[in-house]
Chains A and B, each alone.
Chain A
Amino acid sequence: MSAPAPQLAAVDRELGDAAPLPRDNGELVFEEQWQGRALGMGVVALERAGASWAEFRSHLAAAIAARPAAEHESAATAYYACWLDALESLLSEHGLL
């Protein structure tokens, strides 16, 4: 079995102020189930891939910068879409995708 998942506070620290998880007065916002699963998938895959949060953070920042704002899209949808982009590009870089 792998190491236990990092505490949410640790994930918050790693993501820093640049790309914080979407929240509403402290509670994580998952408008749809896939958003929560995207977060969980990132946490698990990073750890199993042996990738660092610093790497992921830079991929996430790049994905956010590269993604044009779409109309009729909520902040959480946009954020987790970028999250998927970042996860894919990081894992590709590691030769895992």
Chain B
Amino acid sequence: MSDEHGHHHDEHGHHHPRPASAVELRARALEALLAERGLVSTDAIDAVVELYEHDVGPQNGARVVARAWVDEAYRRRLLTDATAAIAELGFGGAEGENMVVVANAPAVHNMIVCTLCSCYPWPVLGLPPNWYKSAPYRARAVSEPRSVLAEFGVSLADGVEVRVWDSSAEIRYLVLPLRPAGTDGWSEAELAAIVTRDCMIGTALPAVPAGVR
């Protein structure tokens, strides 16, 4: 965990004032050799690096939510031991070991924040959006969550309690939103499609697109 994400690309395309390290020279030599043997090409490597550097991860969380909406037993497991229930769908790993899922209810709305830095359940949600890492969100989600929610376009009835969960390196939260009305009979895949990242952070509510019945 770190306070801010460093930019790891700073050295690309700039002059290298320092001499290349031994391991760097070795990497270059291996690449040249493999290119000569036709096992790699610069373009193919570039494509992979490009793909991975910008991979925000699949939003596996949407599948978790959709499963919980259609399968009551799964929902119970998810709320009891989220890490294990999420692993049932094949997701988890580093920094997703201690997941806690908090369920919205008609009178309870949950949202997550990391006040200290930017802890985030990335194995299920991919990479955090920039605003999640911003100082204003981190502070205001706690001090004035309703205003923050309003700015995200979420207006809650007065009687709804807002619970803010502070993620940390130890525990990472995920919001289980309420299944919206008008989705009876939908397949899991159809349901997963309306569960956005923000729904699972708690800064949005799942919406049934206009024109879909």
Residues in chain A within 8 A of chain B (CB atoms): 2, 5, 7-9, 11-13, 17, 20, 23-34, 36-41, 43-45, 48-49, 77, 80-81, 84, 87-88, 91, 96-97
Contacts and interface: CB of A to CB of B under 8 A. Distances in A.
20 contacts: A9-B57, A24-B2, A25-B120, A25-B122, A26-B95, A26-B127, A32-B24, A36-B49, A36-B53, A37-B27, A37-B31, A37-B49, A39-B49, A40-B44, A44-B41, A44-B44, A44-B45, A45-B34, A80-B23, A91-B39
Contacts of A17: 93-94
Contact of B31 (A8, A28, A41): A41
A24 B5 contact: yes
A11 to B, nearest CB: 8
B2 A41 contact: no
Give the size category of B's interface with A: 35 or more
Nearest to A88: B30
Contacts of B39: 44-45, 48-49, 91, 96
A96 B64 CA distance: 43
